[in-house]
Chain A
Amino acid sequence: MRVGVILTVLIAVASLTGCHGSEATFVLSKETDELIREARKPVEKAVLEHFGTPQKLVAWEKLPIDYGKVEKASADIAADKASSEYARISKINHYSTSHEIPGWQLIDGRNLYMRHCLHCHGVSGDGNGPTAPYLNPRPRDYRRGEFKFTSTAVGVKARRDDLHLVLQNGIPGTSMPSFALLKANELTALVEYVRWLAMRGEFEKRLVAELSSDYSQKAVTERVKNEKRADIVETFNKLTTGTKDQPAEFAGTIKDVGDNLAADWLAAEDEANLIVPKHPRHLPSADPQSVTRGRALYMSEKLKCYTCHGLAARGDGTSTVDYWAIPGSSPEKKFEDRGLHDNWGNAIKPRNLTLGQYRGGRRPIDLYRRIYAGIKGTQMAGFATALRDATDEKGNALNDEQVAARMDRHIWDIVNYILAVPYQPQTIEPRLPMTAQAGPAPAAGAPAK
């Protein structure tokens, strides 16, 4: 009898609570949690004010995001709504094709994201969805505002097109599948929403960075040795509330952080930052020495590709057994395990080039861009700067145009070499001497010293 009652009560409680509490929420970053309580509050408030919650989104106009303008006439919207497509999609997906409110694209993107992306990338885009712990490599945490595979110059963020490409093709060798079955407008909405999540995360990250050197729990623990905690908190509160004759400095910080963020993401869309080769690729079939020159560059002192990718291009260079410093740690700390790590702290491996699988895409232009500007957030540097020869083989000075032409030839040689490695093992053996420089092409099949 008693058991029955308890059971009934339990089920009743479960049925009452079941429908609530399932609302998605954005989580605060680890760095925000590490601030003192008093400093955490204004950060939390600022992020909420400028980005909202997953249910009540805020579209901050400062940011270069296409939130979706209302462009359709009301008659068209009515027609949309009457269509069977709208009825089908809106029921399953809460997907609005109506475009009747400003910011509709953000809502579309959000709803699509919740359906397709959240289980790996998490509600907040922190790469920590329920599936994430089971994946290797882990899903991208967008909140650094960094994406690895871009078509932009060194130090420049990802373009919309780069994210489109990843959605179209997936990332080979990872759990990121292709979403090519989604419609073009759905992909567009997703790209905008992912950029929005990235900017949201980076806004929080940069705000915290402004405060953490003085107001992290660690810093305050250190500071209370010489100062009173109450004084520290009072100074902090002045930052956010201001004084009679000075406006709140934190409001200015929010503005600056927003402005800088907007400028950085805008720069990524600037054509001047898009990497486009000036000279087309020469095919190895037309230039048989190209692969050999590429191998020589791979082994050259100025590029040292082998330190990471290995002498035989198997991704097992010496850097994979070194202990590495945690980037930006001060005083310096090292990772506990050997080998390379990316800016997210995940262990990474240099690509094994004999497999013919490339995360950032396998088109020659993808590889060109990888050599030119590297992989963002990793130790793969942009090598264009090391390939600008000031002189030719005979020591004659070169003009800008000639420098650019030689650089393109060098990069295409490397691309040709990389593309040959999986299919022509003889391009690895016999090994060229370590001191080989990319100079005049050695004769084909020249024996190693």
Chain B
Amino acid sequence: MKSMNMTCKTGICLVLAGMMLVGCGLSDTPPVSVTIKKSDEGVATTEVAKADGNTGDKPGATVAAGGSADLVGVVLFDGTPPNLPPIIAMGAEVKDKTVCSATAVPDESLVVDPASKGIQNVFVYLEKAPAGATPIPPPEKQIFDQKGCKFIPHAMIVRTKLPLPVLSDDAVGHNTHTNPVRQSGINGAVSANDRVGALKIIYSKSEQNPFSVTCDVHTWMKAYHLPLDHGFAAVTNEKGEFSIKGLPPGTHTLKVWHESGNALERSLKVTIPAKEPLTLKYNAAKFGK
């Protein structure tokens, strides 16, 4: 009786195990289907800033009458500015030392003017050209250079669809490697003392934030680019000052970005015309220094 019970159980087990084994093999894999989706199904047209710097105005928006005004301001360091040693000391034993450590290469990750406490290389910009603004014509030329194994300038706003020749005033070879987000990056070699700029970068799209540009030959070399399809943007000078020209009256949303602090302001509202210059202050904690 007992053995019969065992056999019975074993039998059930076997049947179930068998089912388990064959079950998946017999069942048909569900058929794969494909649905064709139209290009812009159900997308409401939104205002998109056009490449030529004009804004795609909302229907009914009128061009602001009564001219425009400039936004001037300063970005200051709150506290005692850090004293960053150079990344490459003069005469240091580095690659291509005759060129790269002929003079010291400063650490530009946070440049503060000791007297005014102004922070250099801060990007202050509008993400899109404001509605009703008179487009700012693109610069006649824009240039990205390098000397002493250091990019010049360290931080720059680049106009989209306009070639940016990459020059070199160094007797050694470099390469320029970009890391944008909305478009493919490039990695192109730059010949020694190329004063013409065989390598030309063309950014086709505006970016949301600045991104790094590096040289793979000299790994300490670093710059920041922000491609924009308009001119309502500025980079602070050595005293931390900036000026954005030709803003139409009204409220605008500014972004303030720095390589060590990243988004210092994500959406700072400013009113144009402004009563007084804009003063922005940030302490060391913002920069992780």
Contact with A along B205-218 (1 / 0, CB 8 A): 10011011010110
Check if A441 is an interface residue, CB within 8 A of chain B: no
> A251–B46 Cα gap in the complex (Å)?
8
Residues from chain A with a CB closer than 8 A to the CB of B37 are 49-50, 58-61
A61, B39: Cβ atoms closer than 8 Å: yes
Known: A23-B30, A331-B262. A57 touches B38 (CB 8 A): no
In the docked arrangement, what's the CA distance between A388 and B212, Å?
26
Q: By CB atoms of chain B within 10 A, which of A111, A256, A379 has the most? A: A379
Check if B80 is an interface residue, CB within 8 A of chain A: no
Nearest residue (CB) in A for B39 is: A62
B163 at the interface (CB under 8 A from A): no
Q: Contact residue range for chain B?
A: 35 or more
Complex Cα spacing A380 to B24, Å: 48
Q: Mark B178-221, 1 if CB is under 8 A from A, else 0.
A: 01011111111111101010110000110011011010110100
Pair count A-B, CB < 8 A:
217
Task: Return the CB mask of B152-186 against A: 1 if under 8 Å, else 0.
Answer: 00000000000000000001110101010111111
Interface contact B183-A107, CB-CB below 8 Å: no
Of B11-19, B62-70, B129-137, B139-147, the one with at least 4 CB within 8 A of chain A? B11-19
Is B288 close to A, CB under 8 A? yes
Checking A12, A59, A213 against B263 with a beta-carbon cut-off of 8 angstroms, the contacting residue is A213
A32 within 8 A of B: no
B3 in the interface, Cβ–Cβ < 8 Å? no
Q: Is the contact region of chain B dominated by helix, strand, or loop, or is it mixed?
A: loop
Residues of B near A111 (CB, < 8 A) are: 32
User: Which of A248, A329, A379 makes the CB contact (< 8 A) with B44?
Assistant: A248
From A22, A50, A307, residue with most partner B Cβ within 10 Å: A307
A56→B33 CA distance, assembly (Å)? 5
Complex formed: what's the CA distance from A52 to B34 in Å? Answer: 9
Contact A12 B32 (CB under 8 A): no
Min CB distance B78 to A, Å, is: 15
Q: Does B83 contact A (CB under 8 A)?
A: no
Distance (whole angstroms) from the CB of A140 to the closest CB of chain B:
16
Q: Contacts A213-B209, A385-B198 given; indicate if A206 touches B182 (C-beta within 8 A).
A: yes
Question: Is B39 within 8 A of A331, CB to CB?
Answer: no
- Contact A386 to B262, CB < 8 A, known contacts A56-B35, A304-B173: no
A383 interfacial by beta-carbon distance below 8 Å:
yes
Q: Least Cβ distance of A267 to chain B in Å?
A: 9
Asked if A331 and B34 sit within 8 Å, CB to CB, the answer is no
Q: Which residues of A contact B230 (CB under 8 A)?
A: none
Q: Which residues of A pack against B, CB within 8 Å?
A: 4, 7-8, 11-12, 14-15, 18-19, 22-23, 49-50, 52, 54-62, 67, 94, 101-104, 106-107, 110-111, 145-146, 154-157, 206, 209-210, 213-214, 219, 223, 242, 247-249, 251-252, 254-256, 258, 260, 263-264, 300-304, 307, 318-319, 322-325, 327-332, 374, 376, 378-388, 390
* List of 6 A-B pairs having minimum Cβ-Cβ separation, nearest first: A252-B46, A103-B34, A386-B189, A15-B20, A155-B186, A385-B199
